[in-house]
Amino acid sequence: MYKLLNEHNMLGRKEDFKTVLGLIKTAKNIVITSHKSPDGDSLGSSLALLKFIQKFNANVLVCHPDQASVSFHWLKDINSIHLFKDNREEVIKFVQESDLLFCLDYNSFDRLGEEFGGFVQNSGSKKILIDHHQNPTISAEVSISETAIASTSELIFELIEQSGQLDLLDQEIARYIYLGIMTDTGSFRFPSVSSRTHEIAAKLLETGLPHAVIHESIFDTNTLDRIKLKSYAIVEKLEILQDLPIGLIYLEVKELNQFNYQKGDTEGLVNTILSIENIMVAALFIETDEGVKISFRSKGSYFVNELASVNFNGGGHKHAAGGFSAESIFLTKERFKAIILSGFYNSL
């Protein structure tokens, strides 16, 4: 009943994808879920799957914990996503009435937030996991967990092709799959990118997809306040740990407010730190009303997933992870520095 695909047999296991297609065709009410603070891959995989399932005239809804950043508000179907944070009772009703529920781009129900994650976990729906994060803890009717794959959106393409439905791939579905792949691969530059990733991208472009527009909408569209905030962060708040290839930036609420901060305005800032010559680990600390959100990025043999999971209530991929701290931003920053200075990476 529970199936786990791996990098050696994924492309040859069409029966798993056909099982998923069969469940889609027989379900009466389908709900698609993804993690808190949705990124390009969670949005791309969710909306691509939504558009694919709608081809079968199924009753299907996307339900996310909260809203995406302003960087994604240009997406045509962004307003079709039902948000638990804004419409709690409505979303709970959808989940309770569903007979099939997709878990996309997350490996544990707590990635949905404690309350929403509890409702999803305890629902009587048949569940399908499609994800690429390490150490999945979700029991599902079909579990497609592929840590070697660059993005969950890539797996949505595999679902469409290997279930024999490639003729249903249109420009609308291709747009969302490309969005997810492009953002989770850093525009195809991360080590997780494979020849298969490029093969899929080529097939998406064959639909006439305006890929340059998607890239421009995400990476080349800024407000003046956003540019000023990033400039301030780099000039005033950047720290490089002495004699170590590690850099960090921390931003307080008062500083964010100074630049009329909107969710998503610090997107890419952690990668700017990592782009500095000889820097191998980058950390970004953002103060919020609930606590401190942390983003980690790294290169080479410097992995950040364990750093995040062991010390900062988080997790993720080897070179891209996130965490959270309930301490003040100053204590969080200093604790990070103490962990590093105590020899966290000494074995390298």
CATH number assigned to the domain comprising residue 266:
3.10.310.30
In a domain, 71, yes or no: yes
pLDDT for the residue numbered 239:
97
Residues 29 and 146 in one domain: yes
Residues 67 and 91 in one domain: yes
pLDDT for the residue numbered 156:
98
Residues 167 and 243 in one domain: no
Split into its structural domains, the chain has a count of 2
Orientation angle between helical segments 40-54 and 171-184, nearest 10 degrees: 160
pTM of the model: 0.90
Q: Which residue among 184, 218, 252 closes a domain? A: 218
Mean pLDDT within 75-80: 95
pLDDT for the residue numbered 140:
95
- C-alpha to C-alpha distance for 144 and 138, rounded to whole angstroms: 11
Which domain range does residue 156 map to?
10-218
Residues 272 and 327 in one domain: yes
Mean pLDDT within 71-97: 95
Q: Which residue among 200, 218, 236 closes a domain? A: 218
CATH code of residue 106 = 3.90.1640.10
Residue matched to tokens 């609420």: 253
One-letter amino acid at 206 equals: E
Where b means 16+ CB within 10 Å and e means fewer, 308-342 reads bbebbebbbbbbbbbbebeeebeebbeebbeebee
pLDDT for the residue numbered 348:
65
- C-alpha to C-alpha distance for 144 and 316, rounded to whole angstroms: 17
Please, what is the average pLDDT of the chain? 93
Strand bridging mode 320-325 / 292-298: antiparallel
Residues 141 and 158 in one domain: yes
Q: Which residue among 218, 238, 267 closes a domain? A: 218
Cα 42 to Cα 67, 91, 180, 182: the distances in Å are 12, 18, 7, 12
Residues 236 and 213 in one domain: no
Residues 212 and 228 in one domain: no
Over the stretch 139-183, which tens digit does the pLDDT of each residue have?
Answer: 999 999 999 999 999 999 999 999 999 999 999 999 999 999 999
